Chain A
Amino acid sequence: MTKLESELTRHLAPVRAPAGLWREIQGEIRNDRAPVRRPIGWVVWPTVAGALLLLWQVAGTPQRPPVIRAAGGCGACHVHGL
């Protein structure tokens, strides 16, 4: 074994698990709280995408110009004087 290997063996030696670990695991099992760890990206980006889509729908829709009907006027004669 080289000096480096013996140094690594010494400084990366196994350690004892902390005492409270089993209690935490038992709590998880008992409460059936499976570790659902959804990455934050899966929450943030769909929300942002949804918000942008909504914004685009609301603000991005072009205003339609009033259509003046050929025969009967636009239907708002007091505006157009027809």
Chain B
Amino acid sequence: MVLQDTPKAETSKAAAHDVTPDAGELFERYKDRVYSIALRYSGNPGAAQDISQETFLKLFAGIGTFRGDASFESWLYRLVVNACFDQRRRNWRLQPALQAFFDVLKAPEESVLDDILRSETSERVRNAVANLPSKQRMIVVLRYTQGLTYDDIAAAVGCSPGTVASRLSRAHQTLARRLK
């Protein structure tokens, strides 16, 4: 997917005025992209909502300082990526214990019917992605959820396109092994 720059008029309008009137337009335009990245990265709708909320609040608070040096969307993706990493950093201590706890609670309730109804392939793929190291996972999400180019991913994550390529290649190897 090729990035489309937001019309300058839109961003400068948002920058010049109070945040609220144009905030709605920006939100409508980008909400699905932001939420999709957050959900595919975190694997949890609640966490994805928190990440999206944090991203948009930072966007609205900082849009006055956005000078248009980079693409607006690159800046937005960078905000989402940072919000995802921040969220993970906040929760990483609790996550394994909580996950184990919920697995124990969930196990007896799962029926054979649930297994049949659940899309097994989707579950397997998403689990495999969820178990990738954080940075690799983010690159996979940006690549396959948003279809970004290596350059766009590099700008969003803050590394070189070569690093993106190598991380993606390692992620592919890991995923291919896990999904055999």
Residues of A within 8 A of B (CB): 4-5, 7-9, 11-18, 21-22, 24-26, 28-29, 34-35, 37, 39
Contacts and interface: CB of A to CB of B under 8 A. Distances in A.
A35 B90 CA distance: 13
Given A12-B141, A37-B90, A21 B122 contact: no
Interface residues on B, range: 35 or more
Interface in B5-52: 19-20, 23-24, 27, 31-36, 39-40, 45, 49, 52
B140 A17 contact: no
A56 B87 CA distance: 37
List of 8 A-B pairs having minimum Cβ-Cβ separation, nearest first: A17-B35, A14-B36, A17-B31, A11-B125, A8-B144, A12-B144, A12-B145, A11-B122
B107 to A, nearest CB: 24
Q: Which of A17, A24, A37 has the most CB of B within 10 A?
A: A17
A15 B146 CA distance: 11
B57 A35 contact: yes
A12 B140 contact: yes
Interface stretch (B66-74, B98-106, B171-179): B171-179
